[in-house]
Amino acid sequence: MTDMGSGDEGPVENQYRTELEQALSGVRSNADTCGDAFSKVISALENGAWSSSTADIFDEELRDRKQAAQDDADDCRRAFETRHENEPEEVDEDDWRARWVAYPPMQMR
């Protein structure tokens, strides 16, 4: 017969919250650097790497896309932070968050 527990399980660490916390540094780092590739190209254009009316159009489009990428990265960061902040540090032993294992494990590269 399977042991169903004594019914007086105490709170345990919220593994889901812990996983979110571990992922947050990568999320923040990626959000902070999201516009870097755009910035390098914009800087090159500003320094005369390409001068023409087409380059001006390209530069404007590039700046718009840079802003959109940064906005999306900020939204992602805020979503992770909000989810993490709203998770309790401890949950009941029978809560799914007590046994959370990311599959595949969350990894930020």
Q: Could you tell me the residue ranges of all domains in the chain?
A: 13-98
The β-bridge partners of 92 are: 11
Model pLDDT, residue 77: 95
Return d(Cα 24, Cα 102) in angstroms, integer: 14
Model pLDDT, residue 79: 97
Which parts of the chain sit beneath pLDDT 70?
Answer: 1-8, 105-109
Model pLDDT, residue 59: 97
Residues 6+ apart with CB under 8 A from 3: none
Please tell me the pTM assigned to this model.
Answer: 0.75
Model pLDDT, residue 2: 47
Q: What tokens does 57 get?
A: 């159009």
Residue 26 CA, chain-centre distance (Å), reads 7
